[in-house]
């Protein structure tokens, strides 16, 4: 019998966190999962707990550390955004390599994140936070429209509003303060920021001992709804040599240094303003639209696999990847479809599914809903209906298939009732 492999601890491995266990297992690791809440979060697809040696439901730090210590883990990392703070705490208590402890809150709270960058001399948005709607509206009025109103600790476009008037700011701030985040946390305060003008990009990296590999840079394409919600549409992969990739990568390196990110994956969203790059936010976890097979094909590697390599084979990662970047192997697009449907999914339109699957440039796609699920008009990433990975030698072919998907997308879900 072979000896047991090194143990890796993942905290809250929801959504794209599901891609981490196979990559760690492929390098001989065993896994333990820590669930930061008493119940699994209903807003996100649940992790497959069958792949873990144990699922520890966190109650308090001392108890969880005592449960993990016998495994002698080699690392603790967040599988998704809500696990970032707890993963930092656990790694510190277990004496494992970790991101700078004193900056942990700044890697999760968007106000502290931007203020940390400002203190480091990096270009970023003006901002103000408060639990008072009038104070938020007053700041916006004094600093000029448009502005962005959003929660301090959510993700995926949840509760993010672009506002052009005092009334819009007041309505958006009231909506944020009256709601919970997608992670079930109440919003005691809302954040208002100056609007950053320019195209938005994703910059994904993996770090070990502060040395990094650039996994990919993607340009976002979003659509601004009349409600002020700016919804995801698609993103396309840039060549590592084309502008503004070098500027974006250099800026994100500085931002990660300022935020004490020395280990693990990071997913940064950055606006290229007329005055240079400015961070929207960065998450210390793998990208939400990451899929190993797709990213291997189009970029020559994937963030989950590189994260596992960095933790389990650090010498190899530092030798072969640190200071280097991806290579664009083909044109690539990830699109997230929106809908105006409102009702309950009765059944899946198989003809539409088969037509999408047969499109030349569709690499794979994921249905986000099943019969019996509620479908609502799209306002953020979690209310989008499908995620479709597309690639090919010719962007014109991808664009052609993308237009066809726009025709077929609302034929995929057949609803039984509205309202």
Residue 401 clears pLDDT 90, i.e. is over it: yes
Read off the pTM: 0.93
| Residues 114-152 as b or e (16 or more Cβ within 10 Å = b) | bebbeeeebbbbebbbbeebeebbbbbeeeeebbbbbbb
3-class SS at 217? strand
> Residue 230: pLDDT band by 50, 70, 90 thresholds?
low
Residue 2 clears pLDDT 50, i.e. is over it: no
Residue 109 clears pLDDT 60, i.e. is over it: yes
Cis peptide before 146 (omega within 30 of 0): yes
- Tokens representing 402 are 């993308």
What pLDDT does residue 345 have?
94
Residue 419 clears pLDDT 70, i.e. is over it: no
For CATH 3.30.1490.20, list the domain ranges present in the chain. 126-194
What pLDDT does residue 239 have?
97
**What is the per-residue pLDDT across 305-351, written as a single tens digit (0 to 9) for each?**
999 999 999 999 999 999 999 999 999 999 999 899 999 999 999 99
> Residue 3: pLDDT band by 50, 70, 90 thresholds?
low
- The stretch 22-47 carries a mean pLDDT of 93
**What is the per-residue pLDDT across 255-278, written as a single tens digit (0 to 9) for each?**
999 999 999 999 999 999 999 999
Which homologous superfamily is 126-194 in? ATP-grasp fold, A domain (3.30.1490.20)
Q: Is 295 exposed, middle or buried (0-12, 13-18, 19+ CB in 10 A)?
A: buried
Q: What's the rounded Cα separation, in Å, for the pair 229 and 409?
A: 20
Residue 162 clears pLDDT 70, i.e. is over it: yes
Residue 166 clears pLDDT 90, i.e. is over it: yes
For CATH 3.40.50.20, list the domain ranges present in the chain. 7-98
**Structural contact between residues 20 and 79, judged by C-beta atoms closer than 8 angstroms:** yes
CATH number, domain 330-419 = 3.90.1170.30
**Structural contact between residues 354 and 371, judged by C-beta atoms closer than 8 angstroms:** no
| % of the chain exceeding 70 in pLDDT | 96
- The stretch 216-240 carries a mean pLDDT of 83
CATH number, domain 197-329 = 3.30.470.20
CA–centroid distance for 265 within its chain: 11
For CATH 3.30.470.20, list the domain ranges present in the chain. 197-329
What pLDDT does residue 184 have?
79
Residue 1 clears pLDDT 50, i.e. is over it: no
CATH number, domain 7-98 = 3.40.50.20
For CATH 3.90.1170.30, list the domain ranges present in the chain. 330-419
Q: DSSP class of residue 38? A: S
Cis peptide before 244 (omega within 30 of 0): yes
- The stretch 351-355 carries a mean pLDDT of 96
Q: List own/partner pairs for 42-50 with CB under 8 A and 24 or more apart.
A: 43/182, 43/183, 43/184, 43/382, 44/14, 44/15, 44/80, 44/182, 44/382, 45/14, 45/15, 45/18, 46/14, 47/10, 47/12, 47/13, 47/14, 47/17, 47/18, 47/79, 48/18, 48/21
| % of the chain exceeding 90 in pLDDT | 85
């Amino acid at each position: 019998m072979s000896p047991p492999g090194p143990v890796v601890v993942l905290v809250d491995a929801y959504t794209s966190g599901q891609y981490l266990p196979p990559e760690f297992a492929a390098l001989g690791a065993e896994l333990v999962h820590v669930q930061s809440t008493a119940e699994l979060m209903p807003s996100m697809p649940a992790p497959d707990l069958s792949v873990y040696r144990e699922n520890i439901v966190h109650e308090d730090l001392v108890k969880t550390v005592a449960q993990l210590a016998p495994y002698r883990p080699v690392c603790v990392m967040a599988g998704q955004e809500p696990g970032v703070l707890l993963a930092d705490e656990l790694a510190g208590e277990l004496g494992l390599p970790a991101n700078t402890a004193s900056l942990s809150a700044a890697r999760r709270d968007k106000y502290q994140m931007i203020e940390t960058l400002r203190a480091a001399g990096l270009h970023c948005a003006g901002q103000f936070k408060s639990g008072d709607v009038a104070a938020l509206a007053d700041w916006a009025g004094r600093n000029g429209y448009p502005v962005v109103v959003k929660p301090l600790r959510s993700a995926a476009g949840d509760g993010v509003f672009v506002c052009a008037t005092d009334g819009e700011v007041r309505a958006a701030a009231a909506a944020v303060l009256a709601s919970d985040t997608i992670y079930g946390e109440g919003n005691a305060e809302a954040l208002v920021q100056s609007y950053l003008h320019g195209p938005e990009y994703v910059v994904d990296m993996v770090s070990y001992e502060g040395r990094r590999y650039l996994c990919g840079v993607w340009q976002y394409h979003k659509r601004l709804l009349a409600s002020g919600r700016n919804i995801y549409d698609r993103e396309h992969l840039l060549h590592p040599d084309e502008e503004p990739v070098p500027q974006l990568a250099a800026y994100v390196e500085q931002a990660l240094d300022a935020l004490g990110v020395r280990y693990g994956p990071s997913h940064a969203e950055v606006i290229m303003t007329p005055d240079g790059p400015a961070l929207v936010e960065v998450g210390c976890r793998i990208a939400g639209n990451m899929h190993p097979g797709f990213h291997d094909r189009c970029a020559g590697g994937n963030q989950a696999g590189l994260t596992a390599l960095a933790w389990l084979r650090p010498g190899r990662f530092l030798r072969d990847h640190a200071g280097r970047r991806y290579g664009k192997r083909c044109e690539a697009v990830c699109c997230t479809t929106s809908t105006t449907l409102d009702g309950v999914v009765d059944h899946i339109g198989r003809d539409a599914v088969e037509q999408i699957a047969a499109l030349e440039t569709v690499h794979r796609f994921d249905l986000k809903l099943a019969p019996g699920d509620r479908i609502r008009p799209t306002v953020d990433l979690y209310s989008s209906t499908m995620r479709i990975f597309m690639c090919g030698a010719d962007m014109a072919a991808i664009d052609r298939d993308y237009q066809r998907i726009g025709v077929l997308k609302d034929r995929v879900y057949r609803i039984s009732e509205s309202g």
